[in-house]
Amino acid sequence: KLFGRGEHVSELINAYNRVTSAEGSSEIVLVSGYSGAGKSALVKQAQNSFNEKDGFFLCGKFDQLQHVEPLSAIVDAFSGLCHEIMKKDAATRDQIRSAIQENVGSETGFLINLIPMLRNIIEVPVTETIQIGAREAQNRVKVVFRLFLRALATPDRPLVLFLDDLQWADPVSLEVMKSLVMDTEDSSFLFIGSYRENEVSKTHLLGKALIDIEKNKTVITKIKVGDLKKEYTNSLVSEILQMSPHSSQPLAEVIHRKTS
């Protein structure tokens, strides 16, 4: 249960409703705040509303220790999607398989090399060894992820991609992220990214990427998760300790003063 974040949750749900409308648009929501502010919990709360529609929610988290491993969070997110697809009925799996093959085409084997879990859905021989560091390979990676996303995100099956801790994203992942959110052929796609604002400057890799995205005039909703107000701190303490708000007020004031 979240306290004092209702307005932020509504902003996320409104963005989702817009991309799942009849027009089927594409949008970005950026959630910023200090470590421990509740950014991830906020998105998870909104996810409950996302799940009311028959779409996909992908989640990947960058790790400071895996910074040198390109695409780790993105591959994790799409691997999780493959698990979700496998749970669908045979007709739906066949429909998604056909859409991927039609959109990705001859690059399907390359895509499976990036996301091995996809082999459970599409049986294609994988013979290439990918050197992500090469410029040509990076451009190819961006293209194949764009094609993959176009196949997956549809008005009948909207897609949300949530990438957490973007401040630790590797350069290749940031390039793929930019490529996806700036793709004018995307529809029914909502990208949510969270990051620690105090660790990201305009010269930071993420900061530079966000500037590029804003120049593209993509629809962006910015949510800044700050400290809880006193009344919400008291509501939280009251709930945890099973006390009346009046009784928990003195303790809540001490907690708020020491943590704000």
pLDDT single digits (tens) 74-119: 999 999 999 999 999 999 999 999 999 999 998 998 999 999 999 9
Q: Are 112 and 79 in contact (CB under 8 A)?
A: no
Q: Residue 241: its pLDDT value, please? A: 79
pLDDT at site 181: 94
pLDDT tens profile 165-181? 999 999 999 999 999 99
> What confidence score (pLDDT) does residue 224 get?
92
How does DSSP assign 176-217, residue by residue? HHHHHHT-TT--SEEEEEEEEGGG--TTSHHHHHHHHHHHTT
pLDDT digit string, tens, across residues 16-68: 999 988 676 889 999 999 888 889 999 998 988 887 677 899 999 999 876 66
Q: Is the pLDDT of residue 228 over 80?
A: no
Residues 6+ apart with CB under 8 A from 133: 70
Arithmetic mean of pLDDT over the chain: 86
Q: Rounded distance, CA 128 to CA 81, Å?
A: 23
Q: 95-118: string of b/e by CB count within 10 Å (b at 16+)? A: ebbebbeebbeeebebbbbbbebb
Residue 164 main-chain phi, psi, to 5 deg: -100, 150
State what percent of residues in the chain have pLDDT above 90.
Answer: 55
**Range in 11-20, 65-74, 129-138, 214-223 with the lowest mean pLDDT:** 129-138
Query: Rounded to the nearest 5°, which phi and psi values hold at 26?
Result: -135, 135
pLDDT score of 244: 82
